[in-house]
Amino acid sequence: MWGHLPGRQSLRGGSHRLVPVPPTPVAAHVGSLPLFISTKSSSRLVAGRNHARRDSPAEPRVAHAAEIASSSPPPPGGMGSTGRDAEVTRGDFPDGFVFGVATSAYQIEGARREGGKGDNIWDVFTENKERILDGSSGEVAVDHYHRYKEDIELMASLGFRAYRFSISWPRIFPDGLGKNVNEQGVAFYNDLINFMIEKGIEPYATLYHWDLPHNLQQTVGGWLSDKIVEYFALYAEACFANFGDRVKHWITINEPLQTAVNGYGIGHFAPGGCEGETARCYLAAHYQILAHAAAVDVYRRKFKAVQGGEVGLVVDCEWAEPFSEKTEDQVAAERRLDFQLGWYLDPIYFGDYPESMRQRLGDDLPTFSEKDKEFIRNKIDFVGINHYTSRFIAHHQDPEDIYFYRVQQVERIEKWNTGEKIGERAASEWLFIVPWGLRKLLNYAAKRYGNPVIYVTENGMDEEDDQSATLDQVLNDTTRVGYFKGYLASVAQAIKDGADVRGYFAWSFLDNFEWAMGYTKRFGIVYVDYKNGLSRHPKASARWFSRFLKGDDAENKADMN
Range 30-41 burial, b when 16+ CB lie within 10 A, else e:
beebeebebeeb
Residue 458 annotated as catalytic: yes
Distance CA 184, CA 40 (A): 9
CB of 475 closer than 8 Å to CB of 537? yes
- CA torsion 348-368-374-372 (nearest 10°) is -110
> What CA–CA distance (Å, rounded) separates 384 from 200?
22
Spatial distance between the Cα atoms of 413 and 405, rounded to a whole number of angstroms: 12
491: CB partners within 8 A, 6+ apart: 93, 438, 439, 442, 456, 501, 504
Residues across the chain: 561
Sequence-ordered strand ranges (E) for 358-500: 382-386, 390-395, 410-413, 424-425, 432-433, 454-458, 463-464
Strand blocks (E) in 5-130: 98-102
Residue 405 marked ligand-binding: no
**230 among known catalytic residues:** no
449 vs 382: CA distance, rounded Å = 11
Q: Is 515 annotated as a binding-site member? A: yes
Q: State the Cα angle at 262 between 355 and 359, rounded to 5°.
A: 15
Q: Which residues pair with 415 in a beta bridge?
A: 421
Q: Was 9 annotated as part of a binding site? A: no
Enumerate residues 6+ apart whose C-beta is below 8 A from 468. none
* 388 marked ligand binding residue: yes
| 127 carries a ligand binding annotation | no
Considering the candidates 109, 202, 237, 255, report the single residue annotated as catalytic: 255
Q: Would you give the end-to-end CA distance of the chain in angstroms?
A: 30
Identify the active-site residue in 202, 411, 458, 463: 458
Give yes or no for a contact between 56 and 398, defined as CB atoms under 8 angstroms apart: no
Phi, psi dihedrals of residue 525, rounded to the nearest 5°: -90, -10
Identify the CA nearest to 4 among candidates 430, 470, 542: 430
Q: DSSP letter at 352? A: S
Residue 227 main-chain phi, psi, to 5 deg: -65, -25
Strands 454-458 and 501-507: parallel
Q: In the 3-class helix/strand/coil scheme, how is 264-315 assigned residue by residue?
A: HHHCCCCCCCCCCCCHHHHHHHHHHHHHHHHHHHHHHHHCHHHHCCEEEEEE
**Residues recognised as catalytic:** 255, 458
Known binding-site positions for substrate? 107, 209, 254, 388, 507, 514-515
